[in-house]
Amino acid sequence: MIKLVRGFKDILPADTALWQHVEALARELLEDFGFYELRIPLLEQTELFSRSIGAGTDIVEKEMYTFTDRGGASLTLRPEATASVVRAYVQHRLYAKDPVWKLYTIGPMFRRERPQKGRYRQFYQINAEVFGVDDPRTDAELILLLMRFMGRLELPDITLQINSLGCPECRPRFKNALESFLTSHSGQLCSDCLRRQDQNPLRLFDCKVPSCKETMQDAPSVLDHLCETCRAHFGSVKESLEGFQVPYQINHGLVRGLDYYTRTTFEVLAESLGAQDAVAGGGRYDGLVKALGGPEQPGVGFAIGLDRLIELLAGRAQVFEKRPHVFIAAIGKRAQSVGFQWLQDLRLQRVRAEIDFENRSLKSQMRRADKLEASYVLIVGDRELDDGIAVLRNMTTKEQEKVPLENIISFVVNRIDTTAVGSR
């Protein structure tokens, strides 16, 4: 048997209804907030990611699916969406028509990590990006949108954490302070942290080793090193969130894994997910558009991890499954051919109808109707055909009524509430 590739997965019919529901809700909300959908390719030039995400990051260094295509170009399956969205914004000069764009995209990303709970090599994200506005209310609005989405899904036990990483003005000052702190405390750090110290010193803030945690409590905070404008910006984000009663925690150790982030960063965490507890994350990236060859335009965005979100919603999938409205139980050859005609006619009227082609006993056909959770069963055999009727049984009330064969389709259509999702 040929099996699927490690770290990849099939999303089976038992779950697709839930995925569709979540995606539809996201589209609805995003479009209410003025976002337009952008569809971008799965494959990009490798350089796009090494330049945006950062050549030294783990993603670029050891997690990308990169290959040389037959023409000799180095291509990469996208490990995230923002780089592609920025590329499209720049390449098509969207900024020339209007510098302000609110774009979203939904689709799979690829990272070759070791699979575990909530971490797959192909995983799905909903991405939203806003270009051309550096007003802190945009940051807040984006977070509000995100939290409304979570609220609409009725997710339990989620927390929002926010932080500011500063800008090219103030970040170097903080980095210096942090570096000298780390150098003087290197004796108390674990081997992982000593390795991270040069590559990505901010990461030390979320090390899980107790001694590191303790040491880092005395480490300098980014928030104490923000310049005047960054401080004001962050203050305004917080103020807006409070104005909309969005509860948040400040986590000065909150870091993004990608180099391009500036100022506001945020993450939505769900404890019940286990080690991979970030359901959504994002932040501002004011230098990225320019770094990718575009004009000096600010940007801010987020990504929602769909796989993890669905995980949180596990068990609710059944609610969104669509059961048949009518099951046609046809006994005998003559009835079978009449029933097959009705089946197609009902579907023309957007009634979900099913039939069994095996010409089995009425008992088996009833059993099948029950298994499919059909709302009604339309019973027809030689007896009914001779009398010019069929029997319509309501499976919940067990009431049966005789239906004349002429106009039978419209009769059934009227009995059924085609707007109802399930049948019970």
Partner RNA sequence: GUGGGUGUAGCUCAGUAGGCAGAGCACCGGGUUGUGGCCCCGGCGGUCGAGGGUUCAAAUCCCUUCACUCACCCCA
User: Under the rule (CB under 7 A), what is the footprint of RNA?
Assistant: 3, 6-7, 57-59, 63, 80, 111, 113-120, 123, 125, 192, 196, 200, 203, 206-209, 255-258, 267, 274-276, 278-281, 303-305, 307-308, 331, 358, 360-364, 366-371, 377, 379-384, 391, 393, 395-396, 398, 400
Between residues 100 and 209, which has the closer beta carbon with respect to RNA?
A: 209
Between residues 30 and 280, which has the closer beta carbon with respect to RNA?
A: 280
Between residues 139 and 384, which has the closer beta carbon with respect to RNA?
A: 384
For tokens 């609220």, the residue is 151
How close are the terminal C-alpha atoms of the chain, in Å? 39
Smallest separation (angstroms) from RNA to the CB of 93: 27
- DSSP reduced 3-state for 408: helix
User: CB-based burial of residue 315 (10 Å sphere; 0-12 exposed, 13-18 middle, 19+ buried)?
Assistant: exposed
C-beta contacts of 385-388 below 8 A and 24+ residues apart: 385/334, 385/335, 385/338
Between residues 94 and 289, which has the closer beta carbon with respect to RNA?
A: 289
Task: For 300-338, give the DSSP string.
Answer: EEEEEEHHHHHHHTTT-GGGG----SEEEEE-SHHHHHH
Buried b (16+ CB within 10 A) or exposed e, 151-163: eebebeebebbbb
Between residues 144 and 395, which has the closer beta carbon with respect to RNA?
A: 395
Distance CA 146, CA 255 (A): 19
Instruction: Name the strand (E) or helix (H) holding 412.
Output: helix 408-415
Smallest separation (angstroms) from RNA to the CB of 70: 26
- Put the strands of the sheet holding 353-355 in their side by side order: 353-355, 326-330, 376-380, 389-394, 400-404
Between residues 22 and 331, which has the closer beta carbon with respect to RNA?
A: 331
Smallest separation (angstroms) from RNA to the CB of 232: 26
Between residues 110 and 174, which has the closer beta carbon with respect to RNA?
A: 110
For tokens 């909903």, the residue is 126
Distance CA 110, CA 237 (A): 32
Q: Which of 132, 124, 120 is nearest to 95 (CA)?
A: 132
Smallest separation (angstroms) from RNA to the CB of 381: 3
Amino acid identity, residue 369? A
Between residues 93 and 117, which has the closer beta carbon with respect to RNA?
A: 117
Smallest separation (angstroms) from RNA to the CB of 98: 27
**CB under 8 Å to 68, separation ≥6 — which residues?**
74, 75
Distance CA 285, CA 280 (A): 16
Handedness of CA 275, 276, 278, 281 (dihedral sign): positive
Smallest separation (angstroms) from RNA to the CB of 115: 5
Smallest separation (angstroms) from RNA to the CB of 264: 14
Between residues 122 and 229, which has the closer beta carbon with respect to RNA?
A: 122
Smallest separation (angstroms) from RNA to the CB of 402: 10
Smallest separation (angstroms) from RNA to the CB of 100: 24
Q: Which of 128, 101, 99, 108 is nearest to 30 (CA)?
A: 128
Distance CA 305, CA 127 (A): 9
Between residues 255 and 317, which has the closer beta carbon with respect to RNA?
A: 255
Smallest separation (angstroms) from RNA to the CB of 260: 10
